[in-house]
Chain A
Amino acid sequence: MRVALKTDNDLHLNRRSFLRVSAAAAGGLLVSLYLDLPAAAQEGNQAPPPKVYPPDAFVHVRPDGKIVIQVNRLEFGQGVHTSLPMILADEMDADWSQVIAELAPAADVYKDPVFGFQVVGGSGSIAHSFQQYRELGARTRAMLVAAAADQWKVGPDQCRTEASVVHGPGGKSAKYAELAEDAAKQPVPARVQLKDPSQFRLVGKRVRRLDSRPKCDGSLKFGLDLDLPGMKTAVVAHPPVFGGRVKSLDDKAARSVEGVREVFEIPLVKGTGVAVVADKFWTAKQARDRLKIEWDLSSVEHADSGQLSAKYKELARTPGNVAVNRGDQNAMDAIAAANRMVVEYEFPYLAHVPMEPLNTTIRFDGDRAEAWAGSQFQTFDQMAIAEVLGLKAEQVTFHTEMAGGGFGRRAVADSHVQREAAMIAKRLRGTPVKLVWTREDDVQGGYYRPMHVHRVEIGIGQDGMPAAWRHVIVGQSIIMSTPFAAMLVKNGVDESAVEGTADTHYNIPNFHVSAHHPTVNVPVLWWRSVGHTHNAFVMETLIDELATRAKADPIVYRRKLLKADAGKLHRALDLMDEKSAPWRTKLPKGHALGISCHQSFGTGVACAVDVSVEDKRPKIHRVTIALDPGIAVNPLTIESQFQAGVAFGVTQLMAKGAITLKDGRVEQRNFDGFTPPYIIDAPVAVDVHIVPNSEAPSGCGEPPVPVISPAVVNALAKLTGKRYRSLPLTAV
């Protein structure tokens, strides 16, 4: 799913898209590009009915000169609130200092042009909307130029634009704000000339975030900070085992807490719970603590990490559904036992724990509703709220709130948080209710990166390279219970479980990958970089081990094993090699080098780390990253994503970096039990280098995550002589 960047920069209006232009109610020019769903989303629907498009807009040139650009996705750290407007403003030749970015609400017009629904996922924000935002900018510019040309009675080609001003012959000039009303009356050009990349003024430049100051002075309002007149706050008591149901409820003590308004049972996506609604959060939480609930847990599976581990390891000894079968299946048998190895890896459940706890606010007014949420999945969340409230999706006004992280946790196909909020709002008709998940609700609430076991048998050739490879992956499917199953589950294999192994860029001639997807009563979800979290760990630690066994340099070995057409990985490796050489070759005593490289979401990444052992933990002194993401729209954002993304990736290595279950109950409650990296755990310094590349942009949000943990344990292996195949890293 790559966006093709047209080489001739000559754009034809897509036959299934059209433009709507109107004079803005507040004055100025509004331009919207409305896209129909892509073909994949229309299967089985030969003649889709004509759509009624809402009066939303991407660009608003205000009379005061401000240019308001709508961002068609959630901002939760990844930087699209800055980089998408950059793309549009560049083609538009807008004055960047006058640009204001806004997060768009849920609406058809803001659906991802590739996926067909509104989403942050698959690291696709820039990859999918680069062309879209360029076109929007170019069309807006063309209409402003046409308006100026008409006024001056000159040809548009006699005009040029810069910093929100059209310049014409004879020193004539007009500001965009002055032209906006006339521009709105211009026909939308079917063809526009996109800039030659050499003419970019913003794209490719290190542009600082637009949202920094309000995030540094406390003024930015996240979803949790929302305060509406008359608003109440709700918390929900969830069953201690997923899917459990309330058997009996004694809420006398809870109701006696001053400020409590309602206590009632609600259906959950699985099982039932008890909602407590109060004037304030603290009151609601105090009251919830006083509920006496007897749960019926008899009819649900009580998952247990220890038992799952044993079961998964047993399953891994048998082939699963085939993901890849390349070459000769019997090649392994021809290799002498001394040149064969069998290894087993184990990965725990992981929680996302975004810093801002999950929340959603809804007011239900009978025939319509209004919702506020930091959502990665506006389309589905809006539909879910509508369904609970007996409304149509378009009767639910859905505001996208800035979110404090997410990493996948705010993109849940069953919209369980929004459904809970809607259940509560339905009861409190007319009153806005903010549902808050406490940190304990979050840590214990499921939707984890699934637990996995990998079993790999490798036959090594005379040249020290892998000649035969049999790989079995065991873990719950994330996708099978979602609307994406038809697209992403093939031959019984969830592609997101085998990504990073099945599609490896290493040239392994006899290669067999299969997967088992057991059903377990623990909700699972994509966790930043999804299957790459465990697949890259397995692949990159094994390749490193093979290099060591072959007494080869880990970079040289990888370069030799990579397919010739893995251009992005080759280029990333070469650049990492060059940039890490000055420190890599003279490490202090007690330090070791770790190498990894991995491609995900279209971006090739290579990584070198300098690691020592301090207090029985890995100390990551330095990381050098090189990546090839195609066009780097905002190199500053990319640098930040990689510097911080590798720290996020260290979550996998934390001593308390696991969610475990005993008799159906999650054993961790908060950050004391499930502990993500603090500053002491994160790399001290990270230098990021971007391969110059004019191909269409690929993802940068998730690709930092997979490379770091294998690189670190590859270094640890040198220091301790041990191989690390079971996470979390409880002992070094």
Chain B
Amino acid sequence: METYKLTVNGQPREVTVDPGTPLLWVLREELKMTGTKYGCGIAACGACTVHLGGVATRSCVVPVSLVGSRPVLTIEAMAEDPVGRAVQDAWVSHDVVQCGYCQSGQIMSAVVLLKSTPKPTDVNIEESMGGNLCRCGTYVRIREAIKAASQQLK
């Protein structure tokens, strides 16, 4: 067991865990922030996507020991982020979600996309969202909502 100092959603947090524990399980089980989801554990579905130092990152394969000083942002902080809020609002107004389990990760990927590419093309969307599985298959509405959020942020 080791103690790690993390910055999660702007707050300093301290956890004592095995160094190999993935950030995902630190968030979910140590910090009780369950908005970040477990889907596969091998970075193949994107349900666990967080922003690590501003980069969309699969938290299920990042050991807590490698997080270092990079700030961690999760879905729980997105309502406070102007782009995050716009994406969430677009998701709600476009009735994107079905089961909703993957949508934390979808939104986290979409926010990073819109921060780097304010007016994304379909190809940009396919590239940035390409690793986020939605088993319900809500992809058509995800595309529409990203474009609507982009419009909103102009």
Residues of chain A touching chain B, judged by Cβ–Cβ distance below 8 Å, are 76-79, 208-209, 211-213, 215-222, 224-225, 227, 258, 280-283, 286, 353-357, 402-407, 438-440, 636, 640-641, 643-648, 650, 670-672, 676-680, 682-686
- Interface status of B107 (Cβ within 8 A of chain A): yes
Nearest chain B residue, comparing its CB with the CB of A218: B35
User: Could you say which of B35, B137, B140 contacts A648, with CB atoms under 8 Å apart?
Assistant: B137
User: Could you say which of A402, A406, A646 contacts B137, with CB atoms under 8 Å apart?
Assistant: A646
Nearest chain A residue, comparing its CB with the CB of B39: A355
Nearest chain A residue, comparing its CB with the CB of B138: A644
Whether A208 lies near B95 (C-beta < 8 A) is yes
Please judge, given known A-B contacts A218-B76, A678-B133, A679-B125, whether A671 and B45 are in contact too, CB under 8 Å: yes
> Separation in Å of the A609 CB from the closest CB of chain B?
13
- Interface status of B126 (Cβ within 8 A of chain A): yes
User: Could you say which of B35, B40, B41 contacts A217, with CB atoms under 8 Å apart?
Assistant: B35
Whether B38 lies near A640 (C-beta < 8 A) is no
Mark each residue of chain B from 1 to 45: 1 if its CB lies under 8 Å from any CB of chain A, else 0: 100000000000000001011100100110011111111111011
User: Could you say which of B39, B74, B103, B126 contacts A439, with CB atoms under 8 Å apart?
Assistant: B39
Whether B92 lies near A405 (C-beta < 8 A) is no
* Residue from the set B40, B41, B88 with the largest chain A CB neighbour count within 10 Å: B40
> Separation in Å of the B42 CB from the closest CB of chain A?
5
In the complex, what residues of B have CB within 8 A of residue A283's CB? 18
Whether B133 lies near A671 (C-beta < 8 A) is yes
Q: Considering the chains assembled together, what is the distance between the CA atoms of A208 and B142 in angstroms? A: 15
Q: What 4 A-B pairs have minimum CB-CB distances, sorted nearest first?
A: A218-B35, A404-B101, A647-B137, A215-B100
**A220-B100, A647-B134 known; 15 other A-B pairs, CB under 8 Å?**
A79-B98, A208-B95, A215-B97, A216-B100, A222-B101, A282-B18, A286-B20, A355-B37, A355-B133, A644-B141, A670-B40, A676-B135, A678-B131, A679-B139, A680-B130
> Separation in Å of the A405 CB from the closest CB of chain B?
4
Nearest chain A residue, comparing its CB with the CB of B84: A217
* Residue from the set A355, A439, A683 with the largest chain B CB neighbour count within 10 Å: A355
Q: Mind listing 24 A-B residue pairs with CB under 8 Å?
A: A76-B99, A208-B95, A212-B100, A216-B96, A218-B33, A258-B1, A258-B18, A282-B29, A283-B18, A355-B37, A355-B39, A403-B99, A406-B99, A640-B98, A644-B140, A648-B135, A670-B42, A671-B42, A671-B133, A678-B131, A679-B125, A679-B130, A679-B139, A684-B143
Please judge, given known A-B contacts A258-B18, A280-B29, A647-B139, whether A77 and B98 are in contact too, CB under 8 Å: yes
Whether A439 lies near B40 (C-beta < 8 A) is yes
> Separation in Å of the A656 CB from the closest CB of chain B?
11
* Residue from the set A212, A220, A646 with the largest chain B CB neighbour count within 10 Å: A212
User: Could you say which of B36, B76, B101 contacts A355, with CB atoms under 8 Å apart?
Assistant: B101
> Separation in Å of the B122 CB from the closest CB of chain A?
7
User: Could you say which of A212, A286, A357 contacts B38, with CB atoms under 8 Å apart?
Assistant: A357
* Residue from the set B25, B74, B139, B142 with the largest chain A CB neighbour count within 10 Å: B139
In the complex, what residues of A have CB within 8 A of residue B21's CB? 282
Whether A686 lies near B107 (C-beta < 8 A) is no
Q: Considering the chains assembled together, what is the distance between the CA atoms of A209 and B32 in angstroms? A: 27
- Interface status of B104 (Cβ within 8 A of chain A): yes
User: Could you say which of A225, A258, A402, A405 contacts B34, with CB atoms under 8 Å apart?
Assistant: A225
Nearest chain A residue, comparing its CB with the CB of B107: A216
User: Could you say which of B34, B95, B136 contacts A212, with CB atoms under 8 Å apart?
Assistant: B95
User: Could you say which of B32, B34, B140 contacts A685, with CB atoms under 8 Å apart?
Assistant: B140
Whether B32 lies near A643 (C-beta < 8 A) is no
Whether B135 lies near A643 (C-beta < 8 A) is no
Q: Considering the chains assembled together, what is the distance between the CA atoms of A676 and B76 in angstroms? A: 28
Q: Considering the chains assembled together, what is the distance between the CA atoms of A23 and B152 in angstroms? A: 48
Whether A643 lies near B141 (C-beta < 8 A) is yes
- Interface status of B129 (Cβ within 8 A of chain A): yes
- Interface status of B72 (Cβ within 8 A of chain A): no
